[in-house]
């Protein structure tokens, strides 16, 4: 099993997307990239810790390669807005890939080069590529947020439409039991 860590804005949305992928065994919401040890959600939300809201993904490379995870990451958030995703503004919502090894770093850089060359986005990709640092798991109520709170307005009006679009674009990557 391998680990990948991505920050693509609010971790609730990112977590919901990656939990549907065949080959992903665990998605944990948390914080990475800051200086404060053991930050809380409120400290990260204040924007002074340097942490990003991230998801740490445990996956089977034989089932879903890192490059596919990268493509899902780029296609399910806006990597062209600096420190912002939709109405969420601040460095904690930055687009970031925290790489675990040189291969992940190289693949992330190559993906940005390819997406730029193919003009997939209208603006420049501003996704940060940085070495993984200590991961701090978010509070329990952030874990499995969409699954546990589907009736809440944020889930219905923000996360569900994102999942619908994702399902249309990546149907062949979704765990089969979720398609029944």
Q: Tell me, what's the pLDDT at 179?
A: 64
Q: Tell me, what's the pLDDT at 177?
A: 76
Q: Tell me, what's the pLDDT at 180?
A: 56
Q: Tell me, what's the pLDDT at 22?
A: 94
DSSP string, 53-97: EEEEEEE-TTTS-HHHHHHHHHHTS-TTSTTEETTEESGGG-EEE
The Cα angle at residue 72 between residues 3 and 155, in degrees rounded to 5 = 95
Q: Name the catalytic one among 10, 13, 45, 155.
A: 10
Burial of 157 (0-12, 13-18, 19+ CB in 10 A): exposed
What averages of pLDDT result for each successive group of 10 residues across the chain (180 residues)?
Answer: 95 94 96 96 92 97 96 95 87 96 98 96 97 97 94 90 88 79
Residues in the chain: 180
User: Is-catalytic flag, 10?
Assistant: yes
Q: Tell me, what's the pLDDT at 176?
A: 78
**Helices in the chain by DSSP H: which ranges?**
11-18, 41-45, 66-75, 102-117, 145-148, 153-154, 160-169
């Amino acid at each position: 099993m391998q680990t990948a860590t991505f920050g693509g804005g609010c971790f609730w949305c990112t977590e919901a997307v990656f939990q549907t992928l065949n080959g992903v065994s665990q998605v944990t919401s948390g914080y990475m990239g800051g200086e404060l040890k053991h930050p809380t959600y409120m400290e990260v939300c204040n924007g002074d810790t340097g942490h990003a809201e991230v998801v740490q993904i445990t996956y089977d490379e034989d089932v879903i390669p890192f490059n596919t995870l990268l493509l899902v990451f780029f296609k399910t958030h806006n990597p062209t807005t600096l420190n912002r995703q939709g109405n969420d503004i601040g460095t904690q919502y930055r687009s970031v890939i925290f790489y675990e090894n040189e291969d992940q770093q190289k693949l992330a850089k190559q993906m940005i080069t390819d997406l730029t060359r193919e003009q997939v986005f209208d603006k420049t990709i501003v996704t940060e590529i940085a070495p993984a640092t200590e991961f701090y798991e978010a509070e329990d109520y952030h874990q499995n947020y969409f699954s546990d709170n589907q009736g809440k307005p944020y889930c219905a009006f923000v996360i569900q439409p994102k999942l619908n679009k994702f399902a249309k674009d990546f149907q062949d990557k979704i765990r089969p039991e979720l398609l029944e």
